[in-house]
Amino acid sequence: MTRGGSTARAVGIVTLVVAGLLGSAYVLGRSLVPDQTPRHSTGVTTSADGPHYADQPSVGEPGGAPRATATASASAAETGPAEAGQDGSGRDAADDNLFGAHATTGTPRLALTFDDGPDPRYTPQVLALLREYDVRATFCVVGENAQNHPDLVRSIVDAGHTLCNHSWHHDVGLGARSADAIRSDLLRTNAAIRAAVPNAPIVWYRQPGGAWTYPVVSVAQQLGMTPLHWSVDPSDWELPGATKITATVLSQAAPGSVVLLHDAGGDRQGTVEALRRILPDLTARFELEALPTDPT
């Protein structure tokens, strides 16, 4: 073998060794870098503006549950049991997900409900619009927001609106926790509300995301609260814009409807603008009510 051939072989061996070492170093370095993939498991994010909530979990999201709304019941009549998820008894299977939570007012009157507040930017705007049209509504408040903004809780009650417990920090997975954990969460929320308005009745509970379970319904009832769902959901938390929110509410509203809207948990200016458009129509067609403080 010539000297040139030996040299070339030596260079080749050195090259392979260096390449192997570099590859090992890269793998080791990657293993030391924290995973940067964003995770979303609670339905809550934070920002300089405060907590932002995604009220409806995606199917398959940890702690989530499928939506159970009037839309499912309406589609059952068109698609038949197999496609609509009925169990053959004539009942829509989606109704089972409510575990007895109220989805209508039980009267010809219509109820507007506002979730996730109070919020210092949007709740006052909602209250002003309701006052302008002499409408009473129901506010499902989050405990941490009630604690942070007791003045707004007082404003809600002073205006004649009904309060509803919406958990301490909008825990979509609360219903999957132990009965003791659920009870502690709901009592903590009630305590924050009563710190602001000591004598205000709290007789309604709304589970974040509509993720109802038997335990959360049972505990709420043991604490004297009636579980509250909804029948009209324009998904305003998805920020579809005021026009779409308005169209959904006005087209789906019917006697007895419970309309789901949000006055906090994110950018709710579209909801405020939609409310400005919705109220003239709804007040002309229906009698609007705050849900009663003695639902029994």
CA distance 112 to 156: 14
Q: Is 169 annotated in the active site?
A: no
Count CB-CB contacts under 10 A for residue 209: 26
State the CB neighbour count (10 A cutoff) for residue 111. Answer: 27
CA atoms of 247 and 253, how far apart (whole Å): 10
Cis before 124? omega within 30: no
Phi-psi bin for 204: left (phi > 0), alpha (psi -120 to 50), beta? beta
Token couple for 13: 């061996």
Residue 224: C-alpha distances to residues 101, 155, 203, 218, 296 (Å): 13, 24, 6, 10, 10
Determine whether 262 is an active site residue: yes
What is the C-alpha to C-alpha distance for residues 164 and 220, in angstroms, rounded to an integer? Answer: 11
Distance CA(101)–CA(65), nearest Å, equals 15
Catalytic residue among 169, 171, 262, 263: 262
Residue 210: helix, strand or coil by DSSP? helix
Q: How far is CA 8 from CA 14, 26, 95, in A?
A: 10, 27, 77
User: Exactly one of 55, 115, 171, 263 is catalytic; which is it?
Assistant: 115
Question: CB-based contacts of 242: which residues, under 8 Å, 6+ apart?
Answer: 270, 271, 273, 274, 277
Question: Strand pairing of 111-115 and 50-53?
Answer: unpaired
Active site residues: 115, 262
